[in-house]
A and B are shown apart, each in its own frame.
Chain A
């Protein structure tokens, strides 16, 4: 046993020390985004309605000029667990948009948006987007789940227990604040920006969000810091609209399973009692063998 654990310990130490060197080198290159506090993290996390509404406002006024959210329908704004728009409010948002459609004669027309419509893309197609920006701005439907950063050992193991699943929003929020002057000696190609959190550091998206750019009616600070958190939270909801229901049901399932496991355990104990306990202890001495 001792020998065995020594072998394992030695092997593990070897692996870890070998791994540590390149990881440290990488960290120096691209810093890990700071882990922010999110209302939707953890087993009881819920989206903050006001934050999602602010995030939506930022999307509508800034991001939507270049980024589509093709899988988000106007009706989703009124879905439970989301930004909490009323159906009338969601319909009013839809009415602000023009949707391409065909009329009865099959002629292309533009009509007012309805609840059932999806948010239209700012570009006719991907080629048009690419022609306008050099790189097609990604669709944001699943963006918050499609972006991450390397957690590395041992963090990725700890994350299982702490339920850390917010790499995406952390990264997005950090990226929006990550624009800075390139360090001396960094060759920045023309038409791109330097961003310390972007892999490779050269990002085609310009720093679009500035302090005071979007007006909030709820008294939240109108700063880049607040904007970046709000849009990241909004995008998390867009990517995972049923998360609140998922965690709520999850808690019920957990309670059920833990109680069931307890009951099963004691049933097992009862059933196995006579097998695991010798007959004499279970039933007392065999009366036939008792000498009077």
Chain B
């Protein structure tokens, strides 16, 4: 994170501090002087948006935890009392619940952007893998947070998801009992989920620091996918990236506020306003929307163990992306075939999400199977082969050439 600093402390106090702990120089080199490619589009603002969302979730979460009771008999009631009796409790809770969804919307855009522009390719493999780890941690955190509400969907989602571990041959049932802290999802389960739900965001924050560190070592990728070669290709992080990120963050917040204030329950399943009842199973058990594509993959496969393996594989496969994609050209701009397969992949992912919300019967299962095949084929067949057979378009010589054309 160092190397770009031209930092000169402005006061004697700062100079004194700088000689003992060069934190001013670190901040200056990371967030002021840090060179960013001049041609970044608005898709590159989602990193900053994600950092903001993590902050929002941690702050609202800590305040909510002051009012929440992690006990099977009181959890649902304590959330209702947050909604009714805590000053602006409804705002905190809706910010937090919809914040999770906005966090995932942003992370999906961030990930698709990374795939489209080949941001995972050398020398950014570690950066990408750290991102996949953050995504996994986010999924675990989001799932456990959803369970804390202790409504019908919370309870039954916890039952279904923890039961996936029972597919492991031999020790599966023992693992599930160990996870539950009993012979069914109950108070011990809720307690440990609460503990972990409070812990994991800080683990995420730690990995985010590594993610940003790795980013600042390799530098940002950009829409052309070619590295900056001269000072003409980059601009300083401040004010250029900060003001651009700031603008788009506010635009993002407008959408966030729309959900929080006008349709706060749009993304929540109505059944989760019914207190958890182990004696009544809901007609359709559906996870939160951001897990739906993986839920569809799980249910597309008739055998439980194979389904669980496919579910895990569909996420873990992302970590191997830097090596599955054999093409030397990064950006989809210069990869005409990849571009088509990429958009089809986006459609398939959204389609899987929609299928995950449908009952697993008839045409839905058949479609889910076709989409699952494409999902894996994209990574395991299309990407490795494209690198060999695709005729790529010529890339420009430099970033400034692509932006300014012949003018420079």
Contacts and interface: CB of A to CB of B under 8 A. Distances in A.
Q: Which of B77, B81, B263 has the most CB of A within 10 A?
A: B263
Interface in A135-150: 138-139, 141-143, 145-148
A242 B83 contact: yes
Nearest to A14: B367
Contacts of B404: 278
A142 B265 CA distance: 12
B347 A71 contact: no
A247 B254 contact: no
A60 interface: no
A250 B262 contact: yes
Contacts of B254: 254, 257-258, 261
Contacts of A267: 243, 247
Interface of A is mostly: helix
Given A241-B84, A250-B257, A275 B263 contact: no
Contacts of A250: 257, 260-262
Interface residues of A, number: 53
B65 interface: no
B183 interface: no
B230 interface: no
B253 interface: yes
Interface in A1-57: 3-4, 7-8, 11-12, 15, 18-19, 21-22, 43
A239 interface: yes
Contacts of B240: 271-272, 275
Contacts of B192: none
A249 interface: yes
B168 to A, nearest CB: 34
Given A15-B354, A168-B270, A271-B243, A242 B80 contact: no
Contact of B261 (A239, A249, A278): A249
A146 B268 CA distance: 10
Interface string B136-166: 0000000000000000000000000000000
Interface string B25-40: 0000000000000100
Contacts of A260: 250
A12 B347 contact: yes
Contacts of B250: 257, 260-261, 264
A255 B364 CA distance: 43
A71 B77 contact: yes
B257 A265 contact: no
Interface in B173-205: none
B150 to A, nearest CB: 13
A7 to B, nearest CB: 5
A223 B404 CA distance: 72
A268 interface: yes
A1 B270 CA distance: 40
Given A146-B273, A278-B407, A22 B362 contact: yes
Interface string A175-200: 00000000000000000000000010
A165 B257 contact: no
Interface string B116-137: 0000000000000000000000
B91 A264 contact: no
B262 A43 contact: yes
B263 A163 contact: yes
Contact of A239 (B273, B275, B348, B358): B273
Contacts, number: 122
A246 B261 contact: yes
B341 to A, nearest CB: 9
A21 B367 CA distance: 14
Nearest to B339: A4
Interface in B340-382: 340, 343-344, 347-348, 351, 354, 358, 362-364, 367
A27 to B, nearest CB: 15
Nearest to B405: A278
B296 to A, nearest CB: 12
B110 interface: no
Nearest to B251: A261
A84 to B, nearest CB: 17
Interface string B252-295: 01100110111111100011011100000001000000000000
A254 B256 CA distance: 10
Nearest to B408: A278
B278 to A, nearest CB: 13
Given A145-B265, A271-B239, A246 B244 contact: no
B112 to A, nearest CB: 14
A68 interface: no
Given A22-B363, A71-B84, A272-B244, A165 B274 contact: no
Contacts of B38: 275
Given A199-B283, A264-B246, A271-B239, A15 B367 contact: yes
B343 A7 contact: yes
B367 A253 contact: no
A167 interface: yes
A83 to B, nearest CB: 15
Contacts of A138: 274
Given A165-B266, A264-B243, A275-B38, A11 B274 contact: no
A145 B273 contact: yes
14 contacts: A4-B339, A7-B347, A15-B354, A19-B363, A148-B270, A246-B94, A247-B261, A250-B257, A253-B257, A257-B253, A257-B254, A265-B247, A267-B247, A278-B408
Closest 8 CB pairs of A and B: A250-B261, A146-B273, A264-B247, A148-B270, A142-B273, A145-B273, A261-B250, A268-B247
Given A159-B266, A247-B261, 8 more contacts: A18-B367, A142-B80, A146-B271, A257-B253, A260-B250, A261-B254, A264-B246, A278-B404
